């Protein structure tokens, strides 16, 4: 029976970040991952961006509060920058005036055709009524971020156990006892950060689920136009985000931005939706998508109200939720993990988070009880 002060379930970016932050408070942390590779289902399949203009108000606040960590990570955290400049161009068409206005309220600036073509000369701008630019958007090195969190956990004597799906759990006295993989483990506090599987794991521990819904997102790698330096392109999409495209590894990553409700599973791509995204890209950029060189699917998990679920379950002592990030888990992970660590330790919310208007009450699982 492995013992710890805190058991974190789920080795993706949410669980790894929370485990590292909780261990930094001096707690003995055990991080359980159901697969042999942490972050396999979602974190490892994300071509993430830091986009402070995306999401509802509290998501934007969490993203802004995460910037200092991204810009200046702790000494020894990584050998490469976590962020690199990218920018996002969005294009509005007839009937999308309200979406364009919302984007401008959230931080996008309206620019002209010459600005857009300086960023991407092959744009076809016929029919656009507005061109919008977010120059603060940057690429996130997901591997460096996730790997840095796991290394930080190990440096603080935390333990990662892979191939350890949680089969069952119960509260005995003041301790949670879990059957995980082929072993048992126990701790006074459990942090649930199992992504798409969080409701199922909660139910296996006798906890009422909060209603999380995994949604599949498809993606593909394609070649850019012959002779084009696609590595310098911004991310591009219509303002309704019916698809998006961005550079990745010398080629382009294309996604239909689909949100297909699914059961938790090893996701795959929807080829029809990818074909629709390719057609949309060809209408926006002077290029032809010859073939999809590689495709994959990932899972993004949403609470019923679309906000993250962060906090102790009101009906299960010592059981803490950290789930439902809804596609913003990577760019908000520094702030959310600090918030989680403070709540787990019974400390005040960090002052910089409260200054940004981040409070635990709107995110608490109590709202679903």
Asked whether residue 278 is domain-assigned, the answer is yes
**Residue 119 and residue 183 in one domain:** no
| pLDDT tens column, 258-280 | 999 999 999 999 999 999 999 99
Mean pLDDT for the stretch of residues 156-181: 97
Q: How confident is the model at residue 297 (pLDDT cuts 50, 70, 90)?
A: very high
**Residue 163 and residue 287 in one domain:** no
Into how many domains does the chain fold? 2
Asked whether residue 336 is domain-assigned, the answer is yes
For residue 281, the domain's CATH number is 3.30.9.10
Q: How confident is the model at residue 45 (pLDDT cuts 50, 70, 90)?
A: confident
Pairing of strands 109-111, 49-50: unpaired
Confidence check: pLDDT of 243 > 90: yes
Confidence check: pLDDT of 46 > 90: no
| pLDDT tens column, 91-137 | 999 999 999 999 999 999 999 999 999 999 999 999 999 999 999 99
In angstroms, the CA 60 to CA 50 distance is 10
Asked whether residue 256 is domain-assigned, the answer is yes
In angstroms, the CA 322 to CA 341 distance is 11
Show the domain range for 354. 2-69+141-211+305-368
What residue has token string 């698809």? 243
Looking from the CA of 101 toward its CB, the CA atoms found within 13 Å total 5
In angstroms, the CA 112 to CA 108 distance is 13
In angstroms, the CA 106 to CA 98 distance is 12
Asked whether residue 78 is domain-assigned, the answer is no
**Residue 258 and residue 247 in one domain:** yes
pLDDT for res 42: 87
In angstroms, the CA 9 to CA 305 distance is 23
**C-beta of residue 156 within 8 angstroms of C-beta of residue 23:** yes
- What is the token pair recorded at 344? 């787990």
Confidence check: pLDDT of 4 > 90: yes
Q: Which of 285, 302, 319 is the last residue of a domain?
A: 302
pLDDT for res 186: 98
**Residue 291 and residue 317 in one domain:** no
Q: How confident is the model at residue 47 (pLDDT cuts 50, 70, 90)?
A: confident
Q: What 3-state DSSP class applies to 305? A: coil
In angstroms, the CA 269 to CA 260 distance is 11
Q: How confident is the model at residue 256 (pLDDT cuts 50, 70, 90)?
A: very high
Q: Which of 265, 280, 302 is the last residue of a domain?
A: 302
Beta strands in 135-255 (DSSP E): 138-140, 159-161, 166-172, 175-180, 183-187, 189-192, 213-222, 235-238, 244-248, 251-255
In angstroms, the CA 162 to CA 304 distance is 30
**Residue 120 and residue 159 in one domain:** no
Residue 173 backbone zone (phi > 0: left; psi -120 to 50: alpha; other: beta):
left
Confidence check: pLDDT of 44 > 90: no
pTM of the model: 0.96
Asked whether residue 82 is domain-assigned, the answer is no
Asked whether residue 42 is domain-assigned, the answer is yes
Asked whether residue 74 is domain-assigned, the answer is no
DSSP state of 310: E
In whole numbers, what is the pLDDT of the chain averaged over residues?
97
CA Rg, the chain, in Å?
21
pLDDT for res 275: 98
């Amino acid at each position: 029976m492995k013992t710890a002060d805190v058991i974190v379930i789920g080795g993706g970016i949410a669980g790894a970040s929370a485990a590292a932050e909780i261990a930094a408070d001096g707690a003995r942390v055990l991080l359980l991952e159901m697969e042999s590779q942490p972050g396999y289902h979602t974190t490892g399949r994300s071509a993430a961006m830091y986009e402070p203009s995306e999401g509802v108000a509290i998501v934007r606040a969490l993203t802004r509060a995460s910037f200092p960590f991204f810009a200046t990570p702790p000494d020894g955290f990584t050998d490469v920058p976590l962020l690199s400049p990218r920018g996002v161009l969005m294009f509005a068409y007839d009937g999308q005036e309200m979406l364009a206005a919302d984007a401008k309220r959230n931080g996008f600036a309206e620019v002209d055709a010459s600005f857009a073509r300086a960023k991407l000369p092959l744009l076809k701008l016929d029919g656009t009524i507005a061109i919008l630019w977010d120059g603060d958007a940057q690429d996130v090195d997901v591997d460096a971020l996730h790997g840095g969190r796991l290394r930080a956990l190990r440096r603080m004597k935390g333990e990662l156990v892979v191939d350890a799906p949680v089969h069952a759990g119960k509260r005995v006295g003041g301790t949670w006892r879990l059957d995980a993989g082929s072993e048992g483990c126990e701790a006074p506090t459990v942090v649930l950060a199992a992504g798409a599987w969080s409701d199922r794991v909660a139910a296996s521990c006798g906890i009422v689920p909060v209603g999380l819904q995994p949604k599949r997102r498809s993606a593909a790698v394609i070649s850019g136009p012959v002779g084009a330096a696609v590595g310098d392109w911004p991310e591009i999409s219509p303002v309704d985000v019916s698809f998006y495209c961005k550079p990745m590894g010398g080629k382009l990553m294309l996604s239909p931005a689909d949100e297909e409700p699914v059961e938790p599973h090893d996701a795959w791509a929807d080829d029809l939706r990818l074909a629709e995204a390719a057609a949309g890209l060809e209408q926006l950029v002077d290029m032809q998508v010859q073939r999809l060189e590689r495709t994959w699917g990932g899972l993004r998990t949403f609470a019923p109200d679309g906000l993250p679920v962060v906090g102790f379950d009101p009906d299960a002592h010592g059981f803490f939720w950290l789930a439902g990030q809804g596609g913003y888990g990577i760019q908000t992970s520094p702030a959310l993990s600090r918030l989680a660590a403070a709540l787990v330790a019974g400390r005040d919310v960090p002052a910089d988070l409260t200054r940004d208007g981040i409070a635990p009450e709107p995110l608490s699982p109590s709202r679903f009880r």
